[in-house]
Structure 1
Amino acid sequence: MKKIAFGLLTTLTVFAYSCSDNASNKQTAEQAPATQEETTEVKVMKASFTNVDAAVTGYIKKLTDNYLQIKNALIAGKATEAGEAARQLLEAMKGFDKSLLAADQKKVYDQYETGLKENAGHIAQGANDIEHQRERFADMSEGMYAIVKAFGGGKTLYHDHCPMAKNGKGAMWLSETKEIKNPYFGEKMMECGDVEEEIQN
């Protein structure tokens, strides 16, 4: 019993230490601002495709908006709202005319379309299991990230990463704000994570 208690205490200590890293980083930044600025520099990038049909741009923006609604619902711990936003994303995908895509654009889109649909479906059906929604959101985020990098998202977005998500494997997400609000832990560890990239539209 003592061994189990000790193991749990050790795990919680590591867990808390990892996610309090931001606080210690802020303290370090106050002591040595120049050094900290260098280590936390955010990479700025733009979408790969510059010649995209206006209807495609509007469609990708709609997907991005639905994705961000899912993300914000998970931050707030609202599984039902996350499910509804996922249903809206699926509806948007059904009506998309892929003939509007150039050959190289279609190749990128096709690579992630099935995964987006599958993950959105799970999130839509998982209104009673927010942890399952969060697992699927991690996979969905990888696909949305690739699409936004290629086509843009209709607005400036931030690529964030939490090292503690997915049982310590780490997971990323996209956000419309630079402030870290963690969709994988919500209020339990709201500020756990870092901004890695700024994706300009």
Structure 2
Amino acid sequence: MKKIILVLVVLLIAFCGYWFFLKEKTNHTTDAKTAPLEVRKHSVLFNTGIDSLLQAYFTIKDAFVNADTTLAKAASVKLILLADSSKLSELSNDTTGIYESAVMQMSDVKTNAESLLQQTSLTEMRQDFSMIGESIYPLLKTIFYEGKILYWQNCPMAFGEDKGANWISNTEEIMNPYLGKNHPEFKGTMLHCGEVKDSIKAH
């Protein structure tokens, strides 16, 4: 009788151990299946090129916050070079028109940056800057941008009453590149005038 009880105890312990092991294995398998995986559609080189293009754009934006036309033009030259060397050809196998749209939008970025270089008026430079942003914003949507979150911001009176303009920012805080810190009428009081209209997130 004692032997039977001993055998039953051993079997019970073995069963409990097996059940515990099976449960742990199931949990680990479930965790592995539900863990989010970061999926990249573009090469590192492609994304690096887009990030560099954006950095040049942000330099122009910050230059206009300070009304620094020299820096804005220098960054525009860099922007043009980066637009020329972009790796959009990676998209050429797509059959939905993404490649053609991206090429056209990148061409508009370059054209408006070249126009900015020809301007002598700060206001006209800022207008060209506005058009650069209006080209980059849809470009990022077209290529399914994979970088850090960006913000599409708007100033309703960038070029006067009821003449608004947009720009892209890498921070949620409004730093208005159209009215800036040294506006002839408002000085720096309108630096934070504006609002976030949209966010651009990695797909």
CA distance in 2, matches of 1:130, 1:63: 22
Question: Which residue is 2:164 aligned to?
Answer: 170
95, 98, 104: which is aligned to 1:105? 98
The answer to whether the 8 A contact 2:45-2:87 is kept is no
The answer to whether the 8 A contact 1:157-1:174 is kept is yes
Question: Which is further off, 75-84 or 94-103?
Answer: 94-103
After superposition, residues 142-153 of structure 1 pair within 5 angstroms as 142-150=134-142, 151-152=144-145
Question: Which is further off, 102-111 or 157-166?
Answer: 102-111
Other structure's SS at 2:63 match: helix
Give the partner amino acid of 2:52: K
CA RMSD of aligned residues (A): 2.0
Q: Does 1:71 align with 2:61?
A: yes
Q: Tell me which of the two structures has the higher relative contact order, counting C-alpha pairs closer than 8 angstroms and 6 or more residues apart.
A: 1
Give the partner amino acid of 1:70: I
The answer to whether the 8 A contact 2:83-2:109 is kept is no
Other structure's SS at 1:186 match: coil
TM-score, reference length from structure 2: 0.68
More helix by share: 1
Displacement of 1:97 after TM fit? 4.2
% identical equivalent positions:
31
Question: Which residue is 1:62 aligned to?
Answer: 52
76, 87, 99: which is aligned to 1:86? 76
Question: Which residue is 1:116 aligned to?
Answer: 109
Other structure's SS at 1:131 match: helix
Structure 1 segments of 4 or more deviating over 3 A?
Answer: none
TM-score, reference length from structure 1: 0.69
After superposition, residues 129-168 of structure 1 pair within 5 angstroms as 129-150=121-142, 151-152=144-145, 154-167=147-160, 168=162
Q: Which has the larger radius of gyration?
A: 2
Unaligned 5+ segments in structure 1 are: 1-48
CA distance in 2, matches of 1:98, 1:157: 20
Paired residues in the alignment total 152
